[in-house]
């Protein structure tokens, strides 16, 4: 099934706006997400293709509304829960379940 | 093909898989069922579609394949080069 990420050549999307002198990260949290993902892949918690797959499995509305690193963060939390590393409650910062 | 001699060489005409797989794939929708020309081999790597499902898989050739934009999009004078796994390709002369 073609997913929402696969939009190459598709009409109807606005033009890509290039940002002059774009920094690698627009906020500190983005750099943390980048580093966390690299560490989890290096530790073998999941691989790069599972990570891409997890982004593509996001609900379409969420995928389109999210920024680049918001998609990364959503995919990381999806995989941490699916791999049994952390519960969704823990990932939400509510380790006591309330 | 996972081992042995490469099936393709630069200049070979290849056709991409037309099927739309259920999960992750690195064959973009716009390049499915299209005929292009092999540019070069871009190393060997396990199929991303398999790895995304937790299947390790054997390394296989990855190819740079060049398409005429008009063949993909119906217009355009330029070419588009896509990095494609061996599994995505058949010789263009074989029946589909």
pLDDT digits (tens, 9 = 90+) for A73-87: 999 999 999 999 999
- Boundaries of every domain in chain B: 12-91
The topology (CATH level 3) of B12-91 is SH3 type barrels. (2.30.30)
> Hey, are the CB atoms on A8 and B24 less than 8 Å from each other?
no
The residues facing B67 across adjacent strands are B80
The residues facing B35 across adjacent strands are B15
SS3 of B25-73: CCCCHHHCCCEEEEEEEEEEEECHHHHCCCCCCCEEEEEEEEEEHHHHH
- Please compute the mean of the pLDDT values over residues A20-39 and round it to a whole number: 97
Q: Is the pLDDT of residue A11 over 90?
A: no
Residue range of the domain that includes A40: 28-83
Angle at A73 (CA atoms; ends A68, A76), nearest 5 degrees: 130
What CATH number corresponds to the domain at position A66?
1.10.472.20
Residue A58: inside a domain, yes or no? Answer: yes
Residue A3: inside a domain, yes or no? Answer: no
Number of structural domains chain A divides into: 1
Going from the C-alpha of B85 to that of each of A10, A53, B58, B60, the distances in angstroms are 23, 17, 12, 7
Identify from B29, B47, B67 which residue to disrupt to test chain A contact, counting A C-beta atoms within 10 A and taking the largest count: B29
Angle at B88 (CA atoms; ends B79, A78), nearest 5 degrees: 100
At A95, is the pLDDT very low, low, confident or very high (cuts 50, 70, 90)? Answer: low
Residue A71: inside a domain, yes or no? Answer: yes
> Hey, are the CB atoms on A52 and B52 less than 8 Å from each other?
yes
The residues facing B69 across adjacent strands are none
CA–CA separation, A5 and A28 (whole Å): 25
| Nearest chain A residue to B69, by CA | A9
| Nearest chain B residue to A10, by CA | B30
Chain A residues touching chain B at CB-CB below 8 Å: 1-2, 6, 8-10, 47-50, 52-53, 56
The residues facing B2 across adjacent strands are none
> If you search the block for the tokens 């390790």, which residue do you land on?
B56
> Hey, are the CB atoms on A52 and B22 less than 8 Å from each other?
no
Residue A72: inside a domain, yes or no? Answer: yes
Q: Is the pLDDT of residue A94 over 80?
A: no
pTM for the model: 0.88
pLDDT tens per residue across span B43-75: 999 999 999 999 988 999 999 999 999 999 999
């Amino acid at each position: 099934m073609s997913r929402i990420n696969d939009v190459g050549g598709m009409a109807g999307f606005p033009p890509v706006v290039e940002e002059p002198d774009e920094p690698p990260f627009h906020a500190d949290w983005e750099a943390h997400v980048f580093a966390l993902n690299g560490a989890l892949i290096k530790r073998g918690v999941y691989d790069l293709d599972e990570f891409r797959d997890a982004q593509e499995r996001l609900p379409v509305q969420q995928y389109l509304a999210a920024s680049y690193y918001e998609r990364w963060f959503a995919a990381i939390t999806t995989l941490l829960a699916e791999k049994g590393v952390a519960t969704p409650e823990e990932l939400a910062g509510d380790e006591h379940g309330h | 093909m996972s081992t042995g001699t490469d099936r393709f060489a630069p200049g070979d005409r290849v056709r991409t898989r037309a099927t739309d797989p259920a999960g992750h794939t690195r064959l973009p929708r716009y390049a499915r069922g299209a005929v292009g020309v092999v540019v070069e081999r871009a190393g060997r790597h396990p199929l991303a579609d398999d790895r995304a499902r937790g299947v390790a898989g054997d390394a296989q050739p990855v190819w740079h394949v060049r398409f005429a934009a008009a063949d993909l999009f119906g217009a355009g004078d330029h070419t588009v080069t896509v990095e494609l796994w061996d599994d995505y390709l058949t010789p263009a002369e074989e029946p589909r």
